[in-house]
Every structure is written in structure tokens, then in C-alpha cells.
Amino acid sequence: MEIKVYKKEDTYSYSLGAFPTLELLNKHTKDVIDIYVHSSFNNKEVKEKILAKLGRNFKTNDKLIEKLSPKENCYIVGIFRKYQDILDKNENHLLLDNPSNMGNLGTIIRSSLGFGIKNIAIIKPGVDYFDPKTIRASMGSIFNINIQYFSSIDEYKNQFKDHTIYAFMLKATNTLQTFKFKKGFSTLAFGNEATGLSDSYLDNNSIIIKHSNEIDSLNITNAVSIALYEFNRQNN
């Protein structure tokens, strides 16, 4: 198997760096194809952890590591088969309608795990969450999260009829600062970085994070993390 720089249609992807690769090994052991460790890497503890989890020796191929991570000081790469997650019906969800930036998506995945939401729906189109840029920005938290694509919001709604969707949008009349989330399963929904959620999401449960009119909008990763924080605050 020749490992090339990632393309969306590949059946495998890879994690760059020690920390994300250890997360991969911990959570998706059976999907790991190979681990590559740079010949100059000499952290014995990390090497031993890799050996223990992998159950066989890692590989050394400095040229491959440099090819896959051209801009970064990266010493460990984990190659894995892309896998399919299914969202858990009995948990709260985050929903992203057509996210377009891989770095933002990774950062959002990390915040979501940080506030205990481990199921993320992506409405197509939307960036490829298996891209190494997203994995890197998530700092490996992607391996602890279920992510599933849906063709449309209707497909999602049909599968999760018990979930109340809270659509975060500038046109909403409810203000997060005073809003009370209902009991029961919840889905926090956010739109594309540039265009937000379409008007079809607007209903009695839509929410705006009130901010001064001196800015147009909050940065998307900040908005999502604020919503996750507030939801977490009310549920603890």
C-alpha cells in the first residue's frame, strides 16, 4: 500500500503528531493501518504507549512523514481506515449545516467534546471531516466523537424526531442570555460561516447570541463554543 498525500476520495486518512495519533490508537485501534515514527523521535514513553496499543512494531519512514506533513514539525503519523459513525439517538447533538472551513470544524469538534456533546450531524455539502487538517485542528478529539453526514435537514429530522432543534441565527427572537433549554433531547444547530442558517430553520426555538451592534457577527467557532457552554451550564 503506497501512502499518498490525502485526497477526499481515499479510503484512508492520517493523524499528524503524537497526541492525535495516541487518541486514534486509544479510540479506533482496529481501524489503524500503520503508525510511522520519525527516526529522530526519542520520547521512550510515547513509543512504548504506541507499541502497547498497536500490538506490533511501528514503522520508520522519514520521507513519508515529511511528505504527509510538509509544513509541520511532525514526528508521528497514524494511518487509519476511514470508518462510519452512527449518531446516538439517546444523546444530545450538535448540527452543522454545510461547514466550509476544515480548521474551524476541527476546533468546533474539540469544543463539543469539551462540553460533553459527542454526536455531531453534518448537513451536506460540508467539508470532509476526515481531512488531516480537521483532525489536526481537533487535536485528536475527532476520534472520541460520532460524526455523521446527512443529505438534508429533513433526512436528519426524520431520524431524530425526539430531538428539539435549537437553531442559532441572527434573525431569531430568543436571546441565549435569557433562554431556558427544555428537558429532553436537544440539537444545537449552526449554519455556514458566511451565510448562516437559512430562514427555513426559523421557529420558536431559534436563538440569537446577543452581541453589540458594533460587530456584524461572532466568529463561528466562538459562537458554537458559547452555545455549548450555556447548554452545559444549564444541564449541570
C-alpha cell at position 83: 470508518
CB of 218 to its own copies, least distance (A): 6
Scanning residues 149 to 178, which ones bind its own copies (CB under 8 A)?
Answer: 176-177
Does position 209 interact with its own copies (CB under 8 A)? The reply is: yes
CB of 222 to its own copies, least distance (A): 4
Q: Which is nearer to its own copies, 3 or 46 (CB)?
A: 46
98, 126 Cβ separation under 8 angstroms: yes
**One of 3, 51, 202, 226 touching its own copies (CB under 8 A):** 226
Does position 42 interact with its own copies (CB under 8 A)? The reply is: no
159, 128 Cβ separation under 8 angstroms: no
Does position 116 interact with its own copies (CB under 8 A)? The reply is: yes
Does position 45 interact with its own copies (CB under 8 A)? The reply is: no
Does position 107 interact with its own copies (CB under 8 A)? The reply is: yes
Scanning residues 76 to 105, which ones bind its own copies (CB under 8 A)?
Answer: none
Question: Total number of residues binding its own copies (CB under 8 A)?
Answer: 31
52, 59 Cβ separation under 8 angstroms: no
**Listed residue (183, 184, 223) closest to 207, CA to CA:** 223
In the β-sheet with 76-81, what is the strand arrangement from edge to edge? Answer: 12-16, 76-81, 32-37
Residue pointed to by grid coordinates 510511522: 36
Q: Which is nearer to its own copies, 149 or 229 (CB)?
A: 229
130, 24 Cβ separation under 8 angstroms: no
CB of 154 to its own copies, least distance (A): 31
**Listed residue (41, 44, 60) closest to 52, CA to CA:** 44
Does position 51 interact with its own copies (CB under 8 A)? The reply is: no
Q: How far apart are CA 233 and CA 214, in angstroms?
A: 27
Measured in whole angstroms, the distance separating CA 21 from the mean position of its chain's CA atoms is: 15
Does position 26 interact with its own copies (CB under 8 A)? The reply is: no
Q: How far apart are CA 56 and CA 213, in angstroms?
A: 58
Binding site for its own copies (CB under 8 A): 107, 110-111, 113-116, 139, 141, 144, 176-177, 209-212, 214-216, 218-219, 221-223, 225-226, 229-230, 232-233, 236
